Amino acid sequence: MHNGAVTSTRGLRADAGGVRLTARDVAGLMWCGEMYGASADLLADVLGASADVVRQLHVRWRRAGLAETGRLGPGPVWCWLTRAGLDACGLPYAAYRPPLGRLAHVHAVGAVRHALADARQRRGIERVILQSTPAGLPLYERMGFRTVSRVAVYSS
Q: For 22-46, how does the pLDDT look when each residue is reduced to its tens digit (9 = 90+)? A: 999 999 999 999 999 999 999 999 9
**d(Cα 150, Cα 49) in Å, to the nearest integer?**
38
Residues contacting 1, CB < 8 A, separation 6+? 7
pLDDT at 10 over 70: no
CATH number of the CATH domain containing 76: 1.10.10.10
Phi and psi torsions of 22, nearest 5°:
-95, 175
Residue 40 sits in which domain range?
23-142
Length of the chain: 156
Number of domains in the chain: 1
As separate numbers, helices (DSSP H) first and strands (DSSP E) second, the chain gives 6, 3
pTM here is 0.72
Residue 5 has a pLDDT of 59
121 belongs to a structural domain = yes
pLDDT digits (tens, 9 = 90+) for 48-91: 999 999 999 999 999 999 999 999 988 899 999 999 999 999 99
Tell me whether residue 106 is in a domain: yes
Cβ of 100: how many Cβ atoms within 10 Å?
Answer: 9
77 part of a folded domain: yes
Phi, psi of 81 (to 5 degrees): -85, 150
Residue 147 lies in a domain: no
User: pLDDT confidence of 156, banded at 50, 70, 90?
Assistant: confident
Confidence of residue 12 (pLDDT cuts 50, 70, 90): low
